[in-house]
Amino acid sequence: MALLEHGGSILQNGITLLALAAVLARFGMWLPVLLLLSTLPVLYVTVLANQRYHQWWEQTTADRRKAHYFDLLLTFPQAASELRLFNLGHHFHSLFAGLRLNLRAARADLLRWQALVRLSASAIAMVVMALLVLWLGWRAVRGLSSIGDLVLFYQAFSRGQGLMRALLSNFGQIFSSALFLESLFSFLEERSQVNVPARPVPAPTQISQGIHFRDVSFRYPGSNELALDHFDLTIPAGALVAVVGPNGAGKSTLIKLLCRFYDPNLGSVELDGIDLRDLDPDELRRMITVLFQFPVRYHASVAENIALSDLLLGADRNAIQAAARSAGIHEAIMRLPEGYDTMLGKWLAEGSELSGGEWQKLALARAFLRQSPLIALDEPTSFMDSWAETDWLDRLRTLIAGRTALLITHRFTTAMRADLICVVDAGRVVEIGTHAELLTRGGLYAQSWRAQTQAAQPHSEAPPPKRAQVLTA
């Protein structure tokens, strides 16, 4: 827009300036040239000022972003509890204020410098103007030109200088916009690391063989550590496979590769024997539904929150309710002031707020609504209380009937219900088998199982735990 606006102004001012130059040429051909020369210092200053502003902008990007981050921390509801409890408000406010103060000081310095050099450049133009008026006055005294000529000349020359200044400011703005355009174009030139094949293989509508991670090694862009290291796993069609392992073992990375947010550095991920790189990513993603570890809390109505996973379905209320029932959130929704039409979140309108577990169940409903043959659940029960978890796990089989499922969890009580359990550590498969097989093997799974179940068991001689104790556990 700035380019168009200033381009238009240049055209307009340029035409007027040409007319004025013709008037000035009557007094001498050298006058339009002098007009141009007298404004050259302003041109120089304009270019320099824009360059320095752009430099300031680039150099302060990180600080401006940091200040913006502190601003969000201080105003977003998600941070409010910790900020109050740990009394962090003043801490982040002073960090924010310190950054803004430095930014403002640097900007003020720049503006002061600009004002000073602009003043000097204008003073040069004024001196030229004064000399010319003296020269014309001298000519009038000697009878070489009339008072009318003097007035005409003064008007034309001072208007000419004004126009030149406007013209140069237009050029300056275009120059400045072009500097920012450079950044925009280099951003637009960023190529996706995930290439769409020229002739994609049509994606199958159903999974008949399964998913195969074949000797996959992967490191995130810019990272030196391998997130997956010669990882090999087959998820048979129609099976429920659980992946367990400590934090940072590479479990969530499997989902990211499955959705083709990244491609492996070595090896391949295959769906029914087709390398995912040969499929159109959009078609592939339509086959998958995922409950992410940190699902988005959309500030929209409950029904919309569920329907967003499949906009093509056209928000059919029956399907939405069925998905909510599957996720075990229907009853809680019905208790909300306007049921499925209740607005959630405080961002857009005065909405209701859900608990962490309820938000997660809502995301689960969203994942269930999408009728896709492959379902991936990343820590689906992490926010649920033990009753909700048991109830949900009992129904899990029915919910995923006919689908191939990948379940990521660190809870062994969840993993034990899978057909196959894969234990991952440091990006490698450590053990694989059914719950019973892994327990007999006596390896990492068996040790961790014992540790987790013993930790959850009350002391043998102690009375059965009360509700409050279970909650704490």
Q: Measured from the CB of residue 265, what is the shortest distance to ligand ADP in angstroms?
A: 13
Q: Measured from the CB of residue 188, what is the shortest distance to ligand ADP in angstroms?
A: 23
Length of the chain: 473
Which of 138, 180, 220, 387 binds ligand ADP (CB under 6 A)? It is 220
The residue among 255 and 300 lying less far from ligand ADP, judged by its C-beta, is: 255
Residue 227 is a binding residue for ligand ADP (CB under 6 A): yes
d(CA 212, CA 275): 9
SS3 at position 436: helix
Residue 39 is a binding residue for ligand ADP (CB under 6 A): no
Q: Measured from the CB of residue 62, what is the shortest distance to ligand ADP in angstroms?
A: 19
d(CA 346, CA 361): 19
The residue among 57 and 292 lying less far from ligand ADP, judged by its C-beta, is: 292
d(CA 394, CA 328): 12
One symbol per residue from 230 to 269: x for binding ligand ADP (CB under 6 A), - otherwise; what is it?
---------------x-xxxxxxx----------------
Residues 141-160 touching ligand ADP, rule: CB under 6 A, are: none
Phi/psi at 381 (5° precision): -110, 10
d(CA 104, CA 217): 47
Q: Measured from the CB of residue 256, what is the shortest distance to ligand ADP in angstroms?
A: 8
Q: Measured from the CB of residue 249, what is the shortest distance to ligand ADP in angstroms?
A: 4
Work out the angle at residue 201's Cα, subtended by the Cα atoms of residues 196 and 205, and round it to the nearest 5 degrees.
110
Q: Measured from the CB of residue 424, what is the shortest distance to ligand ADP in angstroms?
A: 7
Q: Measured from the CB of residue 414, what is the shortest distance to ligand ADP in angstroms?
A: 15
Q: Measured from the CB of residue 111, what is the shortest distance to ligand ADP in angstroms?
A: 40
Residue 77 is a binding residue for ligand ADP (CB under 6 A): no
The residue among 43 and 422 lying less far from ligand ADP, judged by its C-beta, is: 422
Which of 223, 318, 398, 460 binds ligand ADP (CB under 6 A)? It is 223
User: 379-403 burial, b if ≥16 CB within 10 A, otherwise e?
Assistant: bbbbbbeeebbeebbeebeebbeeb
Half-sphere exposure of 184 (CA within 13 A, CB side): 6
The residue among 31 and 420 lying less far from ligand ADP, judged by its C-beta, is: 420
The label of the residue with tokens 């013709």 reads 22
Which secondary-structure segment (H or E) carries 93? helix 89-141
- Stretch near ligand ADP under the rule CB under 6 A, chosen from 17-25, 85-93, 221-229, 336-344: 221-229
Residues 322 and 408: beta-carbon distance below 8 Å = no
| Interface with ligand ADP: number of residues (CB under 6 A) | 12
The residue among 171 and 292 lying less far from ligand ADP, judged by its C-beta, is: 292
Residues 445 and 423: beta-carbon distance below 8 Å = yes
- Stretch near ligand ADP under the rule CB under 6 A, chosen from 12-20, 124-132, 175-183, 220-228: 220-228
Residues 383 and 360: beta-carbon distance below 8 Å = yes
SS3 letters for 193-247? Answer: CCCCCCCCCCCCCCCCCEEEEEEEEECCCCCCCCCEEEEEEEEECCCEEEEECCC
Q: Measured from the CB of residue 104, what is the shortest distance to ligand ADP in angstroms?
A: 34
d(CA 436, CA 446): 9
Residues 386 and 407: beta-carbon distance below 8 Å = no
Residue 193 is a binding residue for ligand ADP (CB under 6 A): no
Q: Measured from the CB of residue 356, what is the shortest distance to ligand ADP in angstroms?
A: 18
The residue among 149 and 263 lying less far from ligand ADP, judged by its C-beta, is: 263
The residue among 303 and 421 lying less far from ligand ADP, judged by its C-beta, is: 421
Q: How many Cβ atoms sit within 10 Å of the Cβ of residue 252?
A: 18
The secondary structure of 19-44 as a DSSP string is: HHHHHHHTT-THHHHHHHHHTHHHHH
- Stretch near ligand ADP under the rule CB under 6 A, chosen from 3-11, 153-161, 195-203, 218-226: 218-226
Residue 377 is a binding residue for ligand ADP (CB under 6 A): no
Residue 380 is a binding residue for ligand ADP (CB under 6 A): no
Q: Which residues bind ligand ADP (CB under 6 A)?
A: 220, 223, 225, 227, 245, 247-253
